[in-house]
C-alpha cells in the first residue's frame, strides 16, 4: 500500500496531538510545576510521602510535621520555608541522608497515627 506523504504527515500530527489531548483530559499531562518537592502543587497518595532532594521545608510543614520536630532534627531554627532541605544540609555541613531518614521516620510515624 502506497501512502501520500501529506496524508502520512497529517496522521502523525493527529496521533501526537491527539495523544497529548487525551493525556491532558485524563489528567496524566501536567506542564505546570509549583517548584516544590512534590511537583504540580499536589501531595502524593497517602502513605507515599517521601523526603527527596527537592523537598522544601514548607513541604514538610504541609505534610503535617511540626516546626519543633523539624528544628530538633536539623539542630537549629527553621530556615526559610521555601528553601530545600538538601541545600540547607549542604550549607550547614549536615549529612542529608541522615536528616532525610530522620524526617522520613517522623512522616511515617505521622501517617501511621503514632
Helix (H, G, I), strand (E, B) or coil at 90: helix
Same domain, 22 and 43: no
Cell digits of residue 75: 539542630
Same domain, 83 and 71: yes
Same domain, 19 and 56: no
Same domain, 113 and 65: yes
**How many structural domains compose the chain?**
2
Same domain, 3 and 59: no
Per-residue pLDDT of the chain (114 residues; tens, 9 = 90+): 787 889 989 999 999 999 988 888 887 776 765 555 544 444 444 444 788 888 999 999 999 999 999 999 999 999 999 999 999 999 999 999 999 999 999 999 988 876
| Cα radius of gyration (the chain) | 21
Same domain, 84 and 66: yes
Same domain, 25 and 53: no
Cell digits of residue 64: 503535617
- Which domain does 1 fall in, by range? 1-31
Same domain, 49 and 39: yes
Same domain, 46 and 98: yes
Contact 78, 57 (CB under 8 A): yes
Amino acid at each position: 500500500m502506497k501512502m501520500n506523504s501529506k496524508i502520512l504527515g497529517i496522521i502523525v500530527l493527529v496521533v501526537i496531538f491527539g495523544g497529548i489531548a487525551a493525556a491532558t483530559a485524563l489528567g496524566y499531562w501536567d506542564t505546570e510545576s509549583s517548584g516544590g518537592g512534590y511537583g504540580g502543587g499536589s501531595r502524593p497518595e497517602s502513605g507515599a510521602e517521601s523526603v527527596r532532594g527537592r523537598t522544601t521545608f514548607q513541604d514538610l510543614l504541609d505534610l503535617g510535621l511540626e516546626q519543633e520536630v523539624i528544628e530538633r532534627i536539623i539542630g537549629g531554627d527553621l530556615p526559610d520555608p521555601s528553601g530545600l532541605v538538601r541545600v540547607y544540609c549542604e550549607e550547614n555541613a549536615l549529612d542529608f541522608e541522615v536528616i532525610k531518614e530522620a524526617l522520613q521516620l517522623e512522616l511515617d510515624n505521622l501517617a501511621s497515627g503514632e
